Amino acid sequence: MNTVIQNKLKEIELEYKVKILYACETGSRAWGFPSPDSDYDVRIIYKHETDWYLSLSDKKDVIEFMSEDRELDITGWDIKKCLKLMWKSNGALLERVQSPIIYREEKNISKILKQYSEQCFAPIATMHHYLGMAKNTFSELDGQEDIKLKKLFYALRATLACKWIVEKDSVPPIVFITMVNELDFDETLKSTIKNLIALKSHQNESYMHPKQKELNTFITSELNTATRAFNGLGGRKQREVDLDGLFKEVLKTY
């Protein structure tokens, strides 16, 4: 699959006349709990030639591709769009720059983007992203005795990200097991989650799993805690972040 992805990245560069600065995996493969039939969610950050930005008109700053078999999903954001989202402490962008699976990278740019994203981190903004995601996903499981294991993990991951923000006041890790291992909660529950990760690795995305009361109780409790903490969370920690300078540097040297 790597060859397919690399070839498609080259096609995108030619078709859209862009330079890909960074391409990574997101979704369950990057989070660390893929199923055998999980698709590939590739996310790219790209740039145009400098003249493209010297225009009074707004231009499309997103590239999207889906293969016919829906196995490969590629979404790209222009570097200017990415830096605007970074300033807003956008949860999706914060994950992308941490991805453990990188398909393309120019001059170690992920390290630079990660550093700047940590400086722009606003707990309340990122909490808004994960809390909404957790509540929406968890509500879909309400009243069901058998639930999609995939959906349960989506709810769990977003819930632990909320817990991470409340307790550690920093950007939540993209790798799910890191949060499981480093956050403080019941060890028996941690073992249950790890067993479910192993189970999911052998079950297709459509697999239905019996609802486990202890996990439901845990998610409910943590989301209640996050909701109560939400209004007391701070904004951006460090306001002296020169994203304009970074933008100019990327256009000039990458």
Cα separation of 239 and 101, whole Å? Answer: 30
Cα separation of 158 and 219, whole Å? Answer: 10
What was the pLDDT predicted at 8? Answer: 98
DSSP 8-state assignment for residue 137: H
* Cβ atoms 193, 180 nearer than 8 A: yes
Residues 6+ positions from 41 with CB-CB distance below 8 Å: 25, 26, 27, 28, 29, 30, 73
Cα separation of 160 and 145, whole Å? Answer: 23
CATH superfamily of 2-121+239-253: Beta Polymerase, domain 2 (3.30.460.10)
Distances (CA, A) of 212 to 144, 193, 215, 216: 11, 11, 6, 7
pTM of the model: 0.94
- Identity (one letter) of the amino acid at 227? T
- Looking only at the bridges linking them, the beta strands covering 146-148 and 102-105 are unpaired
What was the pLDDT predicted at 237? Answer: 64
Alpha helices in the chain (DSSP H): 2-16, 27-31, 50-53, 79-87, 91-96, 109-120, 123-140, 149-168, 176-182, 187-200, 213-230, 243-253
CA atoms within 13 A on the CB side of 144: 16
What was the pLDDT predicted at 144? Answer: 85
254 residues of the chain, pLDDT tens digit each: 999 999 999 999 999 999 999 999 999 999 999 999 999 999 999 999 999 999 998 899 999 999 999 999 999 999 999 999 999 999 999 999 999 999 999 999 999 999 999 999 999 999 999 999 999 999 998 888 899 999 999 999 999 999 999 999 999 999 999 999 999 999 999 999 999 999 999 999 999 999 889 999 999 999 999 999 998 987 876 667 899 999 999 999 99
Map out the domains of the chain as residue ranges: 2-121+239-253, 123-230
